Amino acid sequence: MAQTSTPTHADKRPTAVELIGVEKRFSGGVHALGPIDLAIGRGEFVCLVGPSGCGKSTALRMVAGLATPTAGTVRSGGHQKGQPASEAGYVFQEPTLLPWSRVWDNVYLPLRLRGVSRSEARPAVERVLAQVGLEDFAKAYPRQLSGGMKMRASIARALVGEPSLLLMDEPFAALDEQTRFRLNNDLLHLWQEGRWTVIFVTHSVYEAVYLAERIVVMAARPGRVLAEIAVDAPAVRDESFRRSVRYDELCRKVSEVLLEAAR
Ligand SMILES: Nc1ncnc2c1ncn2[C@@H]1O[C@H](COP(=O)(O)OP(=O)(O)OP(=O)(O)O)[C@@H](O)[C@H]1O
């Protein structure tokens, strides 16, 4: 059994997200998840890693209120059972932008759905577009953007409602490595400014170690938490961290637990 580090947040920060005895069984009989217990501190950056099918997306969807647990309790951002968490921003692997709408309107969409007028929304939309470096592309259509820029627009859309919780499901998986590295750095800068709680699903050990304060390794059939590994590295991560001995050691440690999870 893998060594489980003590979760880092609990003694320092109030809990932002809590899964208590959570299980998910789908109607076809698939026992996708649990029971699992997991607590995530306010402002914490947690990565979920694990083999395909171990229930990472299912867990994220339940935290978002997009799926309901079969058993147990999910506490997150005060959302009502079965309702999306209003304080959460969700970023998927596909940028899921409306192709017929300009970048500005795509980013405005969550506020429009809440009944906020364009003029009221303008400062927030312009602020997040500037934060993700797309201020000069507000009038562009998604087809005019590169993959990385589409993902920036998707992140801006998730941030426009000033969420306290950001849920990201393999957001950079489809991007080339250089773009991914750049977006990793930009995301960390944004997180350092905004200090939202982040739950980030990835298949990349390297990405998880670079980004996270804590890595939760899950195993499959049924999905469960196999280990929690604290990333005891500087809060400010940059290319020197990526080249450090500590980074290599942590990547090796997480890879070993993942191998166990895949068995
Ligand atoms: N709507 C559904 N109906 C039935 N089974 C489902 C449904 N959604 C997910 N599952 C099953 O639940 C399990 C967990 O799926 P989930 O997508 O959460 O895993 P994951 O760890 O995110 O996988 P991946 O890394 O491949 O994205 C899988 O066995 C999957 O087939």
Is residue 53 in contact with ligand 1, taking CB distance under 6 Å? yes
Ligand 1 contact, 52 CB (< 6 A): yes
Axis crossing angle, helix 147-159 with helix 103-113, rounded to the nearest 10: 30
What per-residue confidence (pLDDT) applies to 12?
A: 73
DSSP 8-state symbol, 178: H
Ligand 1 in contact with 29 (CB < 6 A)? no
Atom 31 of ligand 1, nearest CA residue: 53
Please report, for residues 5, 24, 86, 229, the alpha-carbon distance to residue 232 in angstroms, rounded to integers and kept in the order given: 11, 32, 32, 9
Of the CA atoms within 13 Å of residue 180, those in its CB half-sphere come to 16
pLDDT at 83 over 60: no
The pLDDT, as a whole number, for residue 79 is: 46
CA dist 104 and 125 (Å) reads: 7
> Which of 54, 170, 201 to mutate to test ligand 1, by most ligand atoms within 8 A of the CB atom?
54
> Quick check: CB of 57 below 6 Å from ligand 1?
yes
75-79, 128-132, 187-191: segment of lowest average pLDDT: 75-79
Q: What are phi and psi of 36, to 5 degrees?
A: -125, 150
| pLDDT reported for residue 34 | 81
What separation in Å is there between the alpha carbon of 4 and the centre of ligand 1?
25
Ligand 1 center to residue 222 CA distance, Å?
11
Mean pLDDT of the chain: 89
Q: Which residue has the higher pLDDT, 263 or 140?
A: 140
Strands 214-219 and 15-25, by their bridges, are unpaired
Mean pLDDT of 59-79: 86
Residue nearest to atom 2 of ligand 1 (CA): 26
Cα gap 25→194, rounded to integer Å: 35
pLDDT at 117: 96
Q: Which of 4-18, 23-37, 45-59 has the lowest average pLDDT?
A: 4-18
Half-sphere exposure of 230 (CA within 13 A, CB side): 11
Per-residue pLDDT averaged across 107-115, rounded?
94
Which ligand 1 atom sits nearest the alpha carbon of residue 54?
21
Q: Which of 20-29, 179-188, 198-207, 233-242 has the lowest mean pLDDT?
A: 233-242
> What residue owns the CA closest to ligand 1's atom 10?
32
How do beta strands 15-25 and 31-41 pair?
antiparallel
What are the residue ranges of helices labelled H in the chain?
56-64, 103-113, 118-131, 147-159, 177-194, 205-211, 239-242, 245-262
- The atom number, within ligand 1, closest to the CA of 28 reads 4
Ligand 1 centroid from CA 50, angstroms: 12
pTM, whole model, 2 decimals? 0.91
Residue type at 94? E
Instruction: Spell out the CATH class of 15-88+164-262.
Output: alpha beta
Which region among 10-24, 66-80, 195-209, 216-230 has the lowest average model confidence (pLDDT)? 66-80
Predicted pLDDT of residue 23: 95
Q: Phi/psi at 80 (nearest 5 deg)? A: -80, 155
Other Cβ atoms less than 10 A from the Cβ of 68: the count is 12
CATH 3.40.50.300 domain residues, the chain:
15-88+164-262
Question: Tokens in use for 150?
Answer: 């589409």
What's the 223 CA to ligand 1 centre distance in angstroms?
10
Name the band, by pLDDT with cuts 50, 70 and 90, for residue 3: very low
Ligand 1 atom, smallest distance to 60 CA? 18
What residues pair up with 199 in beta bridges, in sequence order?
46, 167
Angle CA(56)–CA(57)–CA(63) in degrees, nearest 5? Answer: 95
